[in-house]
Amino acid sequence: MKGVLFDLDGIVTDTATYHFSAWSRLIKDEFGLTLPEIVEERTKGVSREDSLRIILEELNLSVDKDRFQYLTNRKNQCYIESLNQLTSEDILPGIFKLIKELKQKGIKIALASASHNGPFILEKIGLIDSFDTIVDPEKLSRGKPDPEIFEVASAQLGLAPKDCVGIEDSIAGIKAINSAGSCSIGVGDDKLSEAFQRVTSTKELSVTLLQESWNNFVNDKL
């Protein structure tokens, strides 16, 4: 194992509730509608643009290109306002220690998140300098479950995907890691059954667990 590719929401910190709150506020203000809770799960780990497409489909709404852009921008403004309260206290359990140990062992780490606010969030929680590289989702042509983001993350680290472990909490993310050819670690319940290794909490993550999972992953490929 030479590199670890981190998702952001639900892995490093948890801003998923902020996302859903921002979308809910937007839809209420713009359309006078209530966003069903199922949307929170469907948009988990998905880009802002794809999330809006899911929401419009769910609510049987259609908008033109200009309105679509306006809605994504307005949602982001609502979201960023809520992020200003983030601090290092919002790093999920076990993650600070894991990143510290990875750095000590010379294992490179990348952020592979669909969030356009990844750098801002990492700065707010004090981890911006810990990451060797951050994938810019603006430069991607396809979102998760397409493997592009993890392929780009490993390439930016100067590594092959097979030499990396990816950590995700969404089904789309796990599918993307698997398709990229990396070892997938899922954090969550058994809906992440496609993950090569699954834990129920970030507290269970450790360098030892990642290394052993990657070793088993490589051996299974032989």
Provide the annotated active-site residues.
Answer: 7, 9
CB count, 10 Å around CB of 73?
Answer: 10
Q: What is the rounded distance in angstroms from the CA atom of residue 115 to the CA atom of residue 137?
A: 7
Tally the C-alpha atoms within 13 A of residue 162's C-alpha that lie toward its C-beta: 7
Which letter does DSSP use for residue 92 in this model? P
Tell me which residue of 8, 15, 27 sits closest to 84, measured CA to CA.
Answer: 15
Tell me which residue of 192, 164, 194, 175 sits closest to 6, measured CA to CA.
Answer: 164
Q: What is the rounded distance in angstroms from the CA atom of residue 207 to the CA atom of residue 211?
A: 6
Q: What is the rounded distance in angstroms from the CA atom of residue 65 to the CA atom of residue 71?
A: 10
- CB under 8 Å to 151, separation ≥6 — which residues? 161, 180
Task: Report residue 44 CA to chain centroid gap.
Answer: 8
Cα angle 56, 169, 76; round to 5: 40
Cβ–Cβ under 8 Å, residues 140 and 161: no
